[in-house]
Amino acid sequence: MSKFTIVIHGGAGTILREHMTPELEAAYMDGLRAGLDAGYGVLHEGGAAVNAVKAAIVVMEDNILFNAGRGSVFTKKGVQEMDAAIMNGATLEAGAVAGVRNVRNPIMLATEVMLHSNHVFLSGKGANDFAIKQGVKLEPDEYFFSQFRYDQWKSIRDSDNYSLDHTHQRLEELMRDKKFGTVGAVACDYEGTVAAATSTGGMTNKKYGRIGDSPIIGIGTYANNKTCAISCTGHGEPFIRAVAAYDVSCLMEYKGLSLYDAMNMVVNDKLVKLDGEGGMIGVDGQGNHALILNSAGMYRAYRSSDGGSEIAIYR
């Protein structure tokens, strides 16, 4: 019986203590704790890693603070387009969706793709059609509306600028920073199976149907029982060029690096050389975990059956 562990993140970037009110910090900590509780509860009951990461992501998608699901940011057209992916390390089965609209929990749709579509990756209207066919819960546009994200989008919608994530309305004067809004989870269950899942609302004011790293298998999300499970958060373009998540697995499989050393090399060497800012979370089949970032902060948490746990925001 393996040590079981779950690790989650809620985005990374220039997240500084001096820019955070006590109330907002407490709200983020509560949001991370709720996601952690949901995922760990599945593992504690003997559930599979893939179900644990899905459970954690659903809770964070339902939390308006995080740029995924309900809290997703506005595109250039003033709507939400969401991406998500999930992967089972035991079978290498994976499911992903990109550019979906009105789906309450994109991670649930990605799971349906993995299990019932005979495909790996669906996008846009086709993915939404599949959601309807599978009975995945949809919500009206109003469900995804948040005033502070709308105000931020309104301030840049007539320009060619985009924002890597939301800033909270009440902190907009203070938080002249950049945050990469994604939620992710990785887990190792009691059988030693690993899984990974990632979900995002993408960039504020994004154009042309832009897709980042989060839903791309091997980039923002990857799981393989031989090595590890990884979920990334950061500026997606450098992560895509670095093949970030799979590179960690390769360093472990072919060079014999530990989980921590492989993740550290990708985050603090390879990505830095590509001006790639952000971080990643990982677990291996022994229940070891790592949370590594090259930015000022990353919303993150972990809990393991050996009693270890942490919830943190700043570097």
Rounded Cα–Cα distance for residues 198 and 152 (Å):
24
How far from each other are the two terminal CA atoms of the chain, in whole angstroms? Answer: 33
Question: What tokens does 104 get?
Answer: 């309450």
Question: Could you tell me if 306 and 38 are in contact, meaning their C-beta atoms sit under 8 angstroms apart?
Answer: no
The backbone torsions φ and ψ at residue 63, rounded to the nearest 5 degrees and listed phi first, read: -95, 120
Catalytic residue among 111, 182, 193, 204: 182
DSSP structure class, residue 309? E
Contact residues for 187 (Cβ-Cβ < 8 A; gap 6+): 4, 5, 6, 7, 39, 43, 49, 50, 52, 53, 56, 194, 195, 229, 283
Length of the chain: 315
Rounded Cα–Cα distance for residues 204 and 162 (Å):
6
Helices (H) and strands (E) in the chain, counts: 9, 13
200 is catalytic: no
Question: What tokens does 23 get?
Answer: 């109330």
Active site residues: 182
